[in-house]
Each structure stands twice: as C-alpha cells, then as structure tokens.
Amino acid sequence: LAAASFAAIPIKKQLVSHSAAPDACDAFQLCSRLDSRGQHGALAERVFQFLGVHPAMLLREDLRQGPYFNLLRLKARLMCGDFHLYRTRGLDPLRRVMGSSAQQARAFVREVVLSLEASNYGGSVVPPGGKMRDVYTVFVRDAGWFLRIELRMEGGRPAIVVCEPQECDVVLVLHGWFAHSEGA
C-alpha cells in the first residue's frame, strides 16, 4: 500500500473561488443551490470525490449517532476471515489504487478494519432505500489519503460495503454535518 498513490483534488480552493465556502457545510449549501439552478455536474462531482458522499445524497441521507453495529463482535468475525467485501465500492477502488488481486485487497481490508477504533467512527448512515451502515475513516499515509469504510452485519457476518480512498477525514465531515443540522 505504501506505493499506492491517490490524486489530490484541490476542491476547497475551487469552492472558495466559486464563492465563500470555507467548510463542508457551506459546500453542501453551495451545491444544493447549484443543483436547484441546474448547474450541478462538474462541481458536484468534485465535491463527491472530496467528501465521499454526493452532496445531494448527503442532504437526503438519514444520519444517526452510533455506532449501530458492535465493533468488537465485528472484528471477532473478521479475525476468522469470515466477511463479505462488496465489489463496486469496496474491492474495485482498492484494486485500482493498489494494483492488487481480490485476495490481496481482501487481506488489506481485513487488516484495516481490525485496526479500527472507536475514534475512527464518523456516523451511521442509511442511504435512500438502503440499510444502516457505520461509517469509519482511517488515515493511511502521511502525505496522502484516508479510507472511508462503511460496514454492516449481514446475517451475522460482517460486510464491508464501501472501502474507498478519500481526500479528507469523513469523521470530521460528518461531525461538521451533525453540528450543522443541530444548528439549523
């Protein structure tokens, strides 16, 4: 993984240049305004890459405090290698970044999830039509990137639905969102 690289996206600079949007919450507002004017697209995509959640999606998502799933129980099952890794947002992003096989990516995810602590928890999320997931972020490299991890238990087995490299700490973003929601 040390050799992996992830292209940094200077989204904050873009947002600031578009208007005064110093933090993530302002970015959501800006994007929702752009969406209402039909100007969504490139900027919203950049925000998506930066935050890991599409702004419009995040506004609709039901965010809750948690964690909803017991991390210790989850890790215990994970120790045995008994878990599911979803392909589209779990396996494929890692394979692209690391250039690894599915088994290597699974081994990496296992190590990362076993290293999770309560402080890595960002929030619990219910995507529209989806099921509850706990969101965690792990910092992977000094220079670089965070891993956004969304996991849940399915039939008594851990399932890693999302494991994507991110530019920012999802924990901070989601906490910012909570503060924003409470203030509003």
Partner 1 sequence: MQGEEREDLQPCGACGRGTLRPKDMAWVRTGHRDDPRLCVRRRIVLPVCDACGDMALDHVLAAALDEALEDAYRQKRLRQQRAMISDLHKLGLTSTEIECAACLPPGHVTRLRRGMVASPRTFRLLHLLHAFSPGAVWALSRIDPALAEVYARVATDDEL
Interface residues toward partner 1, by CB under 8 A: 81-89, 91-92, 95-96, 99, 101-103, 106, 127, 129-131, 133, 152, 154-155, 159, 161
Nearer to partner 1, 60 or 131 (CB): 131
Report the nearest approach of partner 1 to the CB of residue 135 (Å). Answer: 14
Q: What angle do CA 139, 144, 150 make, to 5 degrees?
A: 40
Q: Give 5 or 39: the residue with its C-beta nearer to partner 1.
A: 5
Q: In this complex, which beta carbon is closest to partner 1, that of residue 127 or of residue 144?
A: 127
Residue number, 11 or 91, with CB nearest to partner 1: 91
* Nearest distance, CB of residue 14 and partner 1, angstroms: 28
CB atoms inside a 10 Å sphere around CB 43:
19
To partner 1, the closest distance from the beta carbon of 86 in angstroms equals 5
Q: How far is the CB of 27 from partner 1 (least distance, A)?
A: 25
Smallest CA-to-CA distance from 5 within 118, 128, 98, 79 is with 98
